[in-house]
């Protein structure tokens, strides 16, 4: 019971920290590209309290961890605001801002994976889940359906006409598609089938 409670608390703590890094990276990239919206809103900070969405960062992950027996969870932070009209190249820069979040989580996972090689086992064993949390958050957000970062990244990469057609589809159906991917089918969810092999591959590289 105590072990389960500690695992739950660590899981949520790691997710909160990963989300804070992720959203800060969005705000930092937007600010560097000329849009002060996130900075003015107080989001250019590593303080997790500025980025927590009570439902997406705490309640939902805890519920999913409990329901899945600790095998599955996902969540989100408070979306970082930005104004594309402040950007020199709105479509390209939107893609860069969106990429900054997942990239920051991968970078953090790499840094921690290097650090644990020099730490005692009793410490490093607690940091492995933090690496996996950051990798999972990055992979989840790179799925190219709205409203995830991957959708905006793909929008920035596609040819202009195709990009706007894609944007229209995602505005209408992106959230529905994401919900269908998340809903469990026969005990598992389609999104798990997509994510798990990628997460496992990255984790093997980082923790080898």
pLDDT (tens digit per residue) in 106-136: 999 999 999 999 999 888 998 999 999 999 9
**What pLDDT digit, counting tens, does each position of 152-204 carry?**
999 999 998 999 999 999 999 998 998 888 877 766 778 888 898 999 999 99
Considering all CA atoms of the chain, what is the largest pairwise distance in Å, rounded to the nearest integer?
A: 55
The answer to whether residues 4 and 11 touch, using CB atoms and an 8 Å cutoff, is no
Rounded distance, CA 121 to CA 117, Å? Answer: 9
Please tell me the pTM assigned to this model: 0.89
For residue 181, give its domain range: 2-207
- The total of structural domains in the chain comes to 1
* pLDDT of 74 above 70: no
Q: b vs e for 59-81, b when ≥16 Cβ sit within 10 Å of the residue's Cβ?
A: ebbbebbeeeeeebbbbbbbebe
Q: Could you tell me how far CA 85 lies from the centroid of its own chain?
A: 25
Residue 24 near residue 45 (C-beta atoms within 8 A)? yes
- pLDDT at position 118, please? 93
pLDDT band (50, 70, 90) for residue 207: very high
Structure-token match 């590289």, residue found: 205
pLDDT at 12: 80
Give the pLDDT band of residue 70 (cuts 50, 70, 90).
low
Query: Mean pLDDT over all residues of the chain?
Result: 88
CA atoms within 13 A on the CB side of 54: 0
- Cα angle 14-16-36, degrees, rounded to a multiple of 5: 135
Instruction: Please tell me the predicted confidence (pLDDT) of residue 2.
Output: 65
């Amino acid at each position: 019971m105590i072990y389960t409670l500690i695992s739950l608390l660590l899981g949520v703590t790691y997710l909160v920290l990963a989300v804070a890094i992720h959203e800060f990276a969005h705000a930092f990239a937007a600010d560097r590209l000329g849009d002060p919206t996130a900075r003015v809103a107080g989001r250019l900070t590593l303080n997790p309290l500025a980025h927590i969405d009570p439902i997406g960062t705490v309640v939902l992950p805890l519920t999913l961890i409990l329901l899945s027996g600790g095998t599955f969870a996902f969540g989100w932070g408070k979306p970082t605001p930005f104004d594309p009209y402040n950007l020199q190249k709105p479509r390209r820069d939107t893609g860069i801002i969106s990429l900054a979040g997942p990239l920051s989580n991968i970078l953090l996972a790499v840094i921690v994976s290097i650090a644990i090689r020099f730490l005692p086992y009793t410490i490093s064993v607690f940091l492995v889940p933090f690496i996996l949390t950051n990798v999972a958050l990055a992979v989840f957000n790179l799925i190219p359906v709205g409203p995830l970062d991957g959708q905006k990244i793909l929008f920035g990469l596609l040819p202009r006409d195709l990009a706007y057609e894609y944007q229209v589809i995602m505005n209408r159906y992106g959230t529905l598609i994401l919900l269908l991917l998340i809903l469990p089918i026969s005990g598992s969810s389609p999104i798990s089938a997509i994510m798990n092999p990628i997460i496992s591959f990255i984790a093997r590289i980082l923790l080898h």
